Structure 1
């Protein structure tokens, strides 16, 4: 055996020893790193984060929840009630992560107990959705907001689901457009996933990139600049005769509750128009308004009038009401009322809103309107 052959054999032995040593060091490093990851809480954070992907029967829109929570560790659970399904997200450690309370509640729109707490001042979601977003930019808690949506089931008459998300997330700021869009994404994606699981092929809108904020009584604008939910209700001559100088309106777009307030100087409310669809019209109010449909048409003492519409899907039925001044609170208005003009204005408001929802106005109160007082 030559010296060259011996040297090559020794080299191979040395290389195998080095490889085994390196492998041992690598394995040791992995064990140490894994131990550090475990002890530092990394495993727990990873486990909670991965659990979001299958949370609430796999319906929760996990990615926007992660963004809104700002990387905080959260947990999710499903709650079932007599008439609702709910996905609740909360923080693992509120002292470290800050308060996180996010709840998506979904009901069958046909359920007698289904309801939506929506307001005419909510901003429309737009982008093909029938929904609204409630965030008051003047409130102290910037991480608190509510959004609602109604979904129709394709191919099924008078069926759909209604959903609401309520959020209080200390790390979020719903004054930021991206956070409003994120919460809207949680709502729409979770609601449509739930609908599919329950056999409803929901009609979906487009991803929501931008959502406005709610309006308040002091967010009035000159009547001459009307362009949203108040547009086309009364003409300039009628407005002047009624003393209307300002409006409080939202952008146009289908919502569970739509509205417009015509006001005097400095926004003092004079006439309020409200459209309520399906579960957004609570049953006690619905029954009270329905009791009036059999009354003779004509001038109502307090100037309140109602129109009705039959609607497809989740909306089911809608009521359109005009209320002068504060008469919607049960007090008589001090205004000198133009009853014919009020009924005409209500019809214009109802026709435009009904068309946007695919609804058909009923003959009850047609033309003259129905007394709601």
Structure 2
């Protein structure tokens, strides 16, 4: 998903050597702050508005021969962001945080690190113009929580480990700020040549930049969030063939019932942890997909609801009320969360493209599974009891 909040200036460090003072003044006047000069080290240290964890990037990509691009726009604080607190209703108001930061570091032959930092909630004017936040891959594999006290995820879009693209992953860290219902979402896409997610010694490299940048962003924009501990190990995203019996599930599928009519008896799940996205994938005995349960918190809940506002359509949607039914085989629920955060959103949808779950939906089971999933997740996150359909 791309941040779409107005004009951007992404300028390489090589290009900026010829930039004149007049051009710098123009950039500031247009609300875009870009500053590069001198060496790779100087450009790296100033990237992402000075919030990029440069030392971690050097550890991951090496300390020479790097090409740096960076752009910063918008604000996070004062009237612009404080007006977007919006309580916990999830509907928001005309305010919001317009902060949108991007930077990327490429080391030829070694890899690339791309970073986005977005203030949340976004201004309501943006809800109809495009996707609000950088997404984490969550279709073929399930993102795993970073843990260690962080609200974060590690994700990959590689369906099979060992693929040529196995050295690519996305890490996201959400900082819930101390006041005003604001938050910062830091998303880092890392590609490492010759690396693999299968190697537990290498895996922390895919989250280290996100964690360290989150610490710097917390200080840079006076967020005051509760920060986690150092991450020395992280799990693997869950593949499609990693299903287990649903009975006895202890992770994100815990408490979700089985269903004889819908042939639901297996599950793919991740560990229970403080993560802004949670998924429970339900399947038949052989693991064939049946239903998918999703939980969205903070910016991800805001973005999911904004999609219904953006694309419109008939009927009531999650953008309109806390709970209800979507189409032939889907329901949603909502829960108010503490500290003025966006209302959490929970969805159940048929996951077998042309199968029985869509053709002959078991609506009673869908409501029961959603209620169990939402109640467990809301309790883990300290949210109120969900409103269910």
- Quote the residue 2:321 is aligned against: 293
Matched, 1:215 2:215: no
More off after superposition, 352-361 vs 280-289? 280-289
CA–CA distance in 2 between the matches of 1:185 and 1:230?
A: 28
CA–CA distance in 1 between the matches of 2:218 and 2:69?
A: 18
Give 1:330 deviation, angstroms: 12
Describe how 1:211-360 pairs up with structure 2 within 5 A.
211-224=234-247, 226-234=249-257, 238-240=258-260, 242-281=262-301, 282=303, 283-287=305-309, 289-290=317-318, 293=321, 302-312=328-338, 315-326=341-352, 333-335=358-360, 337=362, 339-360=363-384
* Unmatched 5+ stretches in structure 1: 1-46
Give 1:184 deviation, angstroms: 1.3
Aligned partner of residue 177 in structure 1, secondary structure: coil
Structure 1 counterpart of 2:65, from 73, 77, 84: 73
CA–CA distance in 1 between the matches of 2:300 and 2:326?
A: 25
Matched, 1:196 2:188: no
CA–CA distance in 1 between the matches of 2:319 and 2:67?
A: 47
Aligned partner of residue 359 in structure 2, secondary structure: coil
CA–CA distance in 2 between the matches of 1:168 and 1:119?
A: 14
Change in 2 beyond 3 A, CA 1:293/1:194: closer
- Quote the residue 1:166 is aligned against: 189
Change in 2 beyond 3 A, CA 1:294/1:63: closer
Give 1:62 deviation, angstroms: 2.7
Change in 2 beyond 3 A, CA 1:267/1:72: farther
After TM superposition, the score normalised by the length of structure 2 is: 0.69
Change in 2 beyond 3 A, CA 1:240/1:326: closer
- Is the Cα–Cα contact under 8 Å of residues 173 and 185 in structure 2 kept in the other structure? yes
Matched, 1:111 2:137: no
Matched, 1:139 2:159: no
* RMSD after superposition: 3.1
Tell me which structure has the larger Cα radius of gyration: 1
* Unmatched 5+ stretches in structure 2: 1-38, 75-97, 127-131
More off after superposition, 190-199 vs 50-59? 50-59
Give 1:250 deviation, angstroms: 1.4
Change in 2 beyond 3 A, CA 1:255/1:286: farther
Matched, 1:60 2:52: yes
- Is the Cα–Cα contact under 8 Å of residues 324 and 335 in structure 1 kept in the other structure? no
Aligned partner of residue 180 in structure 1, secondary structure: coil
Matched, 1:85 2:109: no
Give 1:99 deviation, angstroms: 4.8
Give 1:333 deviation, angstroms: 1.2
